[in-house]
Structure 1
Amino acid sequence: METAALRTRLVEVVVPVHNEQRALRASTTRLHAYLAGTFPYGFRITIADNASTDDTWRIATELAGELPHVRALHLDEKGRGRALRHVWSRSEADVVSYMDVDLSTDLDAFLPLVAPLLSGHSDLAIGTRLARASRVERGPKRELISRSYNLLLRSVMGAGFSDAQCGFKAVRTEIAHALLPGVEDEQWFFDTELLLLAERHGLRIHEVPVDWVDDPDSRVDILRTAMDDLRGLARVARETLSGAARIPMPARVERAELPKGMARQLPRFAIVGTGSTLAYLVLFSSLREILSPLAANAVALLVTAVANTAVNRRFTFGVTGSAGAMRHQLEALIAFLVGLTLTSGSLFLLPDRVSYGVELIAVVIANAAATLVRFLLLRVWVFNPERKTTR
């Protein structure tokens, strides 16, 4: 039953290719066998051919006909970023991802890459070759260029991620759909721009150390790619300074926003809470002259709790009229009991014959904890306009 539930989640793996007739068949067959044999979620492999001039497209269509869960897509224009944008923006999968056709990254890192996205823990995930736990085999030239580029990103752009160029990434599909309109590059800088945009919007980027073996027959023009990346960085820096890089994000994606209504409710609740605390302290101090600490605390807390609920009902949560007022008071008594338990417990745990000042400090601290519980109860239950009530 659990396996069937996992299979309902879909991960799309895009393999962008340009003139890769040499490696395409072997790599796709290996990737398909690995996912079919070990991957616990549903998957689809999309071979995105961007303007190949050799036999790449023919091989891609053959593979799509031979292997289940494999499809082929052809674009008339070249560009890895263009291919990823085309597939990701149209995908209905839960998570979209991509990897280089040479499969330089060990496939055992793929499940750790996508699992935090499927669980909702993270928004984007990248493989990193620069972590201490990573094992990397590549020449000194590529190593120097990669480390220099990522150092530039961290020092100039303030990037928090460690490896922008590793061809092993995944994104929650709703996040990809929100970010893609703000990404301009269609080539190799696409990855970096996507990550910088994600960080600027406060999204969570998960990093997975990977084992990497460099492909000596790689078609990447290192010098040209490096120059394009530098031009892309300059453009993004200008847009960031001008404010043009900010894009509208759905409320469920934007991390900086409070839940609906809370921006108004919090300050109002704080005002009411401050008044209630002062009233509680006055009552507790007066009653302490004639009652025990526990009895004075209970009476003062009950009186201020009833008043607090009535004021918050109208002022903080905007509930008008008398309908439901008694029910609200009775339900809010749960918050009163939480506060009574915390404050009474703090007084009970004090040593005998402590000073009056120590008693006040104890009940104020306990009241602070009870206030947080009270706000949550009032917001999500007592005065929640969307709750369903039964007679």
Structure 2
Amino acid sequence: METTVKTRLVEVVVPVHNEQRALRESVTRLHGYLTGTFPYGFRITIADNASSDGTWHVARGLAAELPHVRAVHLDAKGRGRALRHVWSASDADVVSYMDVDLSTDLDAFLPLVAPLLSGHSDLAIGTRLARTSRVVRGPRREFISRSYNLLLRSLMGARFSDAQCGFKAARTEVAHALLPAVEDEEWFFDTELLLLAEGAGLRIHEVPVDWVDDPDSRVDVLRTALDDLRGMARVARRTLWGAARLPVPPPVREARLPRGMARQLPRFAVVGVASTLAYLALFSLLRQAVPALTANAVALLVTAVANTAANRRFTFGVTGSAGALRHQVEGLVAFLVGLALTTGGLALLPAGVSHGVELAAVITANALATLMRFLLLRVWVFNPRRRQGR
């Protein structure tokens, strides 16, 4: 049975304070979901910030029972403090967090972190305010949330839509660059992080989420709102005074082949191997009767015509006679490039070298010519835009 090696790592932090009743069920469900469906490596970190009930005991038990689960304890309270502590020391590719009540549908987690792993975005947030989001919560919390985000957009110029959703992620190196500038240690931590990121020109990806309000939530909405307003005033003052430029790293994108190249390259290689063998056989045969330069030119011309025809049909999927003559003529341009490279290689050899040295020289030059030939065939001779008349 094949084993898939997951080389990318995503750290999921679950900050908790006095959550002994919900912690076991939530972490077990999260762990089961990620184990069964998540295509990347993951680590769940339960960050207990100064719980006074049995939360820490439950967290240690889960860390002992479940693989890829660990628990850390902080003596001081504050969600922002807990996230800062874990994210700052993380060695994962992406750091994230979600509220312990798992109010956000877990199916949104992969869309949240995938753009960060690919390098497309720098931070990602779940939003409950998109048209395609489905949200179940009371009118009071709905009003407060929308009013808060309206203030952020109107007073702070924020372009992100939902600062308070407990479902966020960031490229770890971006988080490491931003965290020293974030002052808040509690609920405004998220908003401050996003405002700093936006001010630094970072890309924030938004994922519409399905979200169901937790009726057992013990967040003091009024106190949190007042703290948020004070945080907004502090960030605004710092912005007016001129914040220091953050050492934000550039995105690291996954290496991806251009569209269609993954299919074309192996076919081109097969045709190329066959052409090279034919070329070497013909070159060796002709070399017994004519000089090296002549043998090289004739062998390369014959195999170039056959190579263009084979690549036309098998590599680039062009059938029928339409354009065949043009393809051969344009293919001769690639032939001339190859001829120049291989002829130049032979011309640089000192007189009287052995046949083996000659062969090694033309093989090296032919490899360079092959690379150039593939690029010319792909972007010019058999470019689909030209075939479609665009």
Same fold (TM over 0.5): yes
1:150 alignment counterpart: 149
RMSD: 1.9
Q: How far has the Cα of 1:250 moved from its partner?
A: 4.3
Counterpart contact for 1:96–1:170, Cα < 8 Å = yes
| 1:250–1:162 CA distance, 2 compared to 1 (3 A) | closer
1:94 alignment counterpart: 93
Q: How far has the Cα of 1:2 moved from its partner?
A: 11
1:252 alignment counterpart: 250
Any runs of at least 4 consecutive aligned residues in structure 1 with deviations exceeding 2 A, and if so which? 1-5, 245-248, 250-254
Letter in 1 for 2:103: S
Give the Cα–Cα distance (whole angstroms) in 2 for the partners of residues 164 and 136 of structure 1: 15
1:226 alignment counterpart: 225
| 1:53–1:183 CA distance, 2 compared to 1 (3 A) | same
| 1:28–1:251 CA distance, 2 compared to 1 (3 A) | closer
Give the Cα–Cα distance (whole angstroms) in 2 for the partners of residues 158 and 2 of structure 1: 51
Q: How far has the Cα of 1:150 moved from its partner?
A: 0.1
| 1:91–1:251 CA distance, 2 compared to 1 (3 A) | closer
| 1:172–1:3 CA distance, 2 compared to 1 (3 A) | farther
Counterpart contact for 1:3–1:40, Cα < 8 Å = no
For structure 1, the residue ranges without an aligned partner over 5 or more in a row are 255-333, 339-391
Q: How far has the Cα of 1:145 moved from its partner?
A: 0.1
Counterpart contact for 2:178–2:246, Cα < 8 Å = no
2:326 alignment counterpart: none
- 1:187 paired with 2:208, answer no
Q: How far has the Cα of 1:129 moved from its partner?
A: 0.1
- 1:32 paired with 2:28, answer no
Counterpart contact for 1:117–1:171, Cα < 8 Å = yes
1:129 alignment counterpart: 128
Letter in 2 for 1:74: H
Q: How far has the Cα of 1:146 moved from its partner?
A: 0.1
How high is the TM-score relative to the length of structure 2? 0.63
Q: How far has the Cα of 1:249 moved from its partner?
A: 1.1
List aligned pairs for 1:1-391, cutoff 5 A: 4-5=4-5, 7-243=6-242, 245-250=243-248, 252=250
Letter in 1 for 2:250: R
| 1:251–1:99 CA distance, 2 compared to 1 (3 A) | closer
Quote the sequence identity (%): 82
Please give the secondary structure, in 2, of the residue aligned with 1:114: helix
Please give the secondary structure, in 2, of the residue aligned with 1:174: helix
For structure 2, the residue ranges without an aligned partner over 5 or more in a row are 253-371, 377-390
Give the Cα–Cα distance (whole angstroms) in 1 for the partners of residues 245 and 72 of structure 2: 29
Counterpart contact for 2:121–2:203, Cα < 8 Å = yes
| 1:43–1:179 CA distance, 2 compared to 1 (3 A) | same
The C-alpha deviation readout for 1:285-337, integer Å capped at 9, x for no partner, is xxxxxxxxxxxxxxxxxxxxxxxxxxxxxxxxxxxxxxxxxxxxxxxxx9xxx
Give the Cα–Cα distance (whole angstroms) in 2 for the partners of residues 221 and 58 of structure 1: 25
The C-alpha deviation readout for 1:171-228, integer Å capped at 9, x for no partner, is 0000000000110000000000000000000000000000000000101000000000
| 1:251–1:84 CA distance, 2 compared to 1 (3 A) | closer
Q: How far has the Cα of 1:246 moved from its partner?
A: 2.9
Give the Cα–Cα distance (whole angstroms) in 1 for the partners of residues 66 and 111 of structure 2: 25
Give the Cα–Cα distance (whole angstroms) in 2 for the partners of residues 155 and 112 of structure 1: 28
The C-alpha deviation readout for 1:152-172, integer Å capped at 9, x for no partner, is 000000000000000000000
Give the Cα–Cα distance (whole angstroms) in 1 for the partners of residues 100 and 147 of structure 2: 25
Give the Cα–Cα distance (whole angstroms) in 1 for the partners of residues 174 and 23 of structure 2: 29
Please give the secondary structure, in 1, of the residue aligned with 2:64: helix
2:291 alignment counterpart: none
Q: How far has the Cα of 1:247 moved from its partner?
A: 3.4
Letter in 2 for 1:246: A
Letter in 2 for 1:204: R
Please give the secondary structure, in 1, of the residue aligned with 2:89: coil
Give the Cα–Cα distance (whole angstroms) in 2 for the partners of residues 175 and 227 of structure 1: 28
Letter in 2 for 1:179: L
Give the Cα–Cα distance (whole angstroms) in 2 for the partners of residues 121 and 156 of structure 1: 28
The C-alpha deviation readout for 1:228-285, integer Å capped at 9, x for no partner, is 0000000000000000x3333145369xxxxxxxxxxxxxxxxxxxxxxxxxxxxxxx
What is the aligned residue count? 255
